[in-house]
């Protein structure tokens, strides 16, 4: 990767290498060029001022940090450093002549992640997408740098709720020791007008405000207003002959309800190359007074119906909500009937990750819903943000909406990365 030019805003990141400030905060829209300019500047700063010293590179997960930070910086042409990544140690070793420094990669995915970073002493910390990391992890990582008088902290993120801990701590009241940079897509020299317009079409509602306009705004009202306003844009009567030919496999989602909830099955079709996602069929029933055996029988019948609708298409998994006894029972029933579907526990990605993925799929036209799924249509039209919560949270008080949403999302959430909508 050759970086031929830096924008004026990216140039301000490079100036931070020599600036007196101890903290750099870069927020703003997606695809704005803040991440690459920051990791390059972070590397230059570390190699300019330190030798045989530890540094921190932190992201949401180790895997995402390797993908978004480590590999791209290794591919940058023209840097005067030899960069060797030891994956087993999660350590990037940077060498320039006789000088050598060590960058340890961490993932701040949950409240327990801070324990992974305890005991390390580092001269600096770079946080990619810091708004996706818990405060306990970030606090622990920043504490690792306190023994160095000339340590620097580097933060970047896309906006979230104005009630988010990072906004409250670093942005609501500017700190004198911090330099603040607000990025928009126009600050990325590789983003021309056509690329910016294409990126804008990927978002709507609160996601547009945050990820395109770069605003820290509260999530309110409908979650998928574009679908609620005009569902016909995404509804189809049936797959065309060509769409049927392109179906690669079918997956299932199972949300097992208890007491007054519903038990819901949803079948999803994913096309070759994960270019399209289809909601193919659904089944919903009241859970009150229903035995596990009845659930198993109904699910087997549901799968058989789907097999009849789409003969010859490969079946893969049924992703089931807890309890484990239901999952095991469904799996045993499928095996007994010789049906080539394995029932396993649903991955249960963060709900907001699933919401973000759907918003993106709707806007890109990747996702289609068959009209034989009226409960899913109702759910997508009526999902709302919880008005009583300061942080983003889907309201979960209506089984007609929430249970269907869960079953649908379980059916495809394991393929978010393949679909390219994380």
Per-residue pLDDT of the chain (422 residues), as tens digits, is 778 789 999 999 999 999 999 999 999 999 999 999 999 999 999 999 999 999 999 999 999 999 999 999 999 999 999 999 999 999 999 999 999 999 999 999 888 888 889 899 999 999 999 999 999 999 999 999 999 999 999 999 999 999 999 999 999 999 999 999 999 999 999 999 999 999 999 999 999 999 999 999 999 999 999 999 999 999 999 999 999 999 999 999 999 887 668 899 999 999 999 999 999 999 999 877 788 899 999 999 999 999 999 999 999 999 999 778 889 999 999 999 999 999 999 999 999 999 999 999 999 999 999 999 999 999 999 999 999 998 999 999 888 899 999 999 999 999 999 999 98
Q: Is residue 218 part of a domain?
A: no
Let me know whether 175 and 271 are in one domain.
no
pLDDT at 394: 96
User: Measured over all CA atoms, what is the biggest interatomic distance in the chain, rounded to whole angstroms?
Assistant: 73
Quote the pLDDT of residue 289: 77
Taking the C-alpha atoms of residue 215 and residue 209, their distance in angstroms, rounded to an integer, is 6
The pLDDT score that the predictor gives to residue 83 is 98
Range of the domain at 255: 226-419
Q: What's the pLDDT score for residue 1?
A: 73
Does residue 120 lie within any of the structural domains? Answer: yes
Query: What pLDDT does 2 receive?
Result: 75
What is the rounded CA–CA span in Å between residue 345 and residue 414? Answer: 11
Instruction: Indicate whether 192 and 275 sit together in one domain.
Output: no
Number of independent structural domains in the chain: 2
Q: Are residues 205 and 232 in the same domain?
A: no
Query: What pLDDT, on the 0 to 100 scale, is given for residue 121?
Result: 96
* Residue 163 belongs to some domain of the structure: yes
Asked whether residue 140 is assigned to any structural domain, the reply reads: yes
The answer to whether residue 1 sits within a structural domain is no
CATH number at residue 415: 3.30.420.280
- Do 190 and 235 fall within a single domain? no
* Separation of alpha carbons 263 and 289, rounded Å: 12
Pick from 211, 245, 275: which residue ends a domain?
211
Please indicate, yes or no, whether residues 181 and 233 belong to a single structural domain of this protein: no
Domain assignment of residue 244, yes or no: yes
> Given 167, 182, 211, which residue is the final one in a domain?
211
Q: Which of 152, 181, 211 is the last residue in one of the domains?
A: 211
* E strand or H helix that includes residue 372: none
Q: Is residue 249 part of a domain?
A: yes
In this predicted structure, what is the pLDDT of residue 260?
A: 64
Same domain, 266 and 395: yes
Are residues 126 and 251 both part of a single domain?
Answer: no
40 belongs to a structural domain? yes
The one-character DSSP state at 313 is P
pLDDT score at 259: 65
Task: Report the distance separating Cα 393 and Cα 399, nearest Å.
Answer: 16
Do residues 48 and 155 both lie within one domain? yes
**Cα dihedral angle (87, 91, 95, 100), rounded to 10 degrees?**
-150
46 and 176 share one domain: yes
Asked whether residue 246 falls in the same domain as residue 323, the answer is: yes
Residue 254 and residue 409 in contact, taking contact as beta carbons nearer than 8 Å: no
C-beta of residue 96 within 8 angstroms of C-beta of residue 84:
no
Are residues 131 and 185 located together in one domain of the fold? yes
Rounded-to-integer distance, Cα 326 and Cα 265, Å: 13
Give the side-chain half-sphere CA count within 13 A for 55: 28
Same domain? For 143 and 259 the reply is: no
């Amino acid at each position: 990767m050759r970086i031929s030019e830096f924008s004026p805003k990216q140039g301000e990141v490079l100036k931070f290498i020599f600036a007196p400030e101890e903290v750099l905060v870069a927020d703003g829209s997606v695809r704005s060029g803040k991440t690459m300019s920051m990791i390059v500047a972070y590397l230059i700063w570390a190699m300019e001022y330190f030798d045989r010293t530890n540094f921190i590179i932190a992201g949401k997960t180790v895997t995402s940090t390797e993908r978004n930070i480590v590999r791209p910086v290794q591919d940058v042409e023209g840097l005067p450093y030899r960069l060797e990544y030891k994956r087993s140690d999660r350590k990037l070793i940077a060498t320039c002549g006789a000088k050598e420094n060590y960058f340890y990669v961490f993932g701040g995915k949950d409240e327990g992640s801070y324990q992974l970073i305890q005991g390390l002493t580092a001269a600096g910390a770079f946080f990619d997408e810091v708004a996706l990391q818990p405060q306990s992890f970030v606090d622990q990582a920043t504490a690792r740098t306190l023994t160095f008088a000339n340590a620097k902290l580097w933060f970047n993120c896309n906006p979230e709720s104005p009630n988010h801990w990072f906004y409250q701590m670093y942005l609501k009241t500017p700190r004198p020791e911090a330099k603040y940079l607000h990025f928009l897509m126009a600050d990325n020299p590789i983003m021309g007008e056509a690329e910016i317009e294409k990126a804008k079409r990927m978002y709507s509602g609160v996601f547009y405000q945050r990820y395109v306009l770069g605003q820290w705004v509260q999530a309110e009202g409908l979650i998928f207003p574009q679908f609620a306003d005009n569902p016909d844009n995404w509804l189809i009567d049936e797959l065309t002959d060509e769409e049927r030919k392109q179906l690669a496999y079918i997956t299932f989602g199972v949300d097992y309800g208890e007491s007054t909830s519903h038990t819901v099955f949803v079948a999803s079709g994913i096309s070759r190359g994960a270019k399209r996602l289809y909601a193919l069929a659904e089944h919903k029933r009241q859970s009150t007074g229903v035995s596990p055996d009845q659930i198993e029988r109904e699910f087997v019948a549901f799968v058989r119906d789907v097999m009849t609708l789409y003969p010859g298409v490969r079946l893969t998994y049924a992703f089931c909500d807890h309890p484990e006894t239901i999952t095991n029972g469904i799996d045993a029933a499928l095996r007994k009937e010789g049906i080539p579907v394995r029932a396993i526990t649903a991955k249960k990605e963060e709900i907001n990750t699933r919401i973000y993925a759907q918003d993106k799929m709707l806007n890109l036209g990747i996702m289609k819903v068959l009209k034989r799924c009226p409960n899913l249509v109702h759910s997508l039209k009526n999902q709302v943000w919880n008005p009583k919560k300061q942080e983003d949270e889907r309201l979960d008080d209506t089984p007609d909406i929430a249970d269907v949403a869960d079953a649908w999302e379980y059916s495809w959430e394991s393929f978010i990365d393949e679909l390219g909508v994380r």
